[in-house]
Amino acid sequence: MHDFRELKKRGEKITALTAYDYPTARLLDESGIDIILVGDSVGMVVLGYEDTTEVTLAEMVHHTRAAARGVKRALLVGDLPIHSYDDAPQAVASARALMEAGAHAVKLEGGASHVTQIAAIIAEGIPVMAHIGMLPQSVREEGGYKVKGRTRAEAEALLNDAAAAEKAGAFAVVLEIVTPETARQITNALEIPTIGIGSGSHCDGQILVTHDLIGLFPWFTPKFVSPEARVADEIRRATRAFIRRTMSAEI
């Protein structure tokens, strides 16, 4: 975890992407990514759930174990799903389950509201990445995905969350859909790195859902993502070519 602080001090950006299976994790690892997150976004882009609120700890353990088999050098972070860290003892037990599956660290949503859980997990020797801003596990209560940090009150609350997570021992904090200016303020206020997603370029690093980056989930692409590939189109093309070839051979 000390290495990421050093990267921040030197002004070197940190790269992170998601993976939920062996081949994707291996490809990302071989490509030189710094952090691989087995995110609860697996619920939407792999399992077909409406959002992340249906993802279970058992599912996260399953996907973490698969991804871990493909990782040799990157930091593998396992996401704690909703209601797997409602109190400190449960948080520790859930974090242990992900570590036993092969994770090197865990991530949870929340700042000041979850310092007890963060501290308890870290006391067990398990590194924690915090996550503030838009919290996908709270999307139903929020009524959708909304930009955070627009008002002074929101910005101050986020600064407090980030500071609380850092004080509790988190080694990094994800800022999701936070206004660029607020993200800049948080980044400048912390010694630990910020990892942004839809939060502008001032963060110390960036993370994306790999399916969004490579165009593998074409039914929804976040506004802040510019896909670098169109894998879904290639799958359709290859499938249709296979169908044509097979049908032609039958004739």
DSSP states of 93-150: HHHHHHHHTT-SEEEEEBSGGGHHHHHHHHHTT--EEEEEES-GGGHHHHTS---B--
**Are 193 and 8 within 8 A, CB to CB?**
yes
> In this structure, what DSSP letter does residue 69 have?
T
The kind and range of the H/E element at 23 are: helix 22-31
pLDDT of residue 145: 86
- Please state the rounded mean pLDDT for residues 185-196: 98
In terms of C-beta density within 10 A (0-12 exposed, 13-18 middle, 19 or more buried), how is residue 237 classed? Answer: exposed
- Single-letter amino acid, residue 84: S
pTM: 0.95
> In this structure, what DSSP letter does residue 193 have?
P
What would the pLDDT profile of 116-149 be if each residue is shown by its tens digit?
A: 999 999 999 999 999 999 999 998 988 888 999 9
Strand 75-79 to 172-176 pairing: unpaired
What would the pLDDT profile of 3-47 be if each residue is shown by its tens digit?
A: 899 999 999 999 999 999 999 999 999 999 999 999 999 999 999
- 176 a catalytic residue: yes
Query: What's the rounded Cα separation, in Å, for the pair 147 and 240?
Result: 40
Q: Which of 141, 176, 181, 228 is catalytic?
A: 176
179 φ, ψ to 5°? -60, 145
Instruction: Round the average pLDDT of the chain to a whole number and report it.
Output: 96
Between helix 180-189 and helix 152-168 the angle, nearest 10°, is 30
- Please state the rounded mean pLDDT for residues 49-63: 97
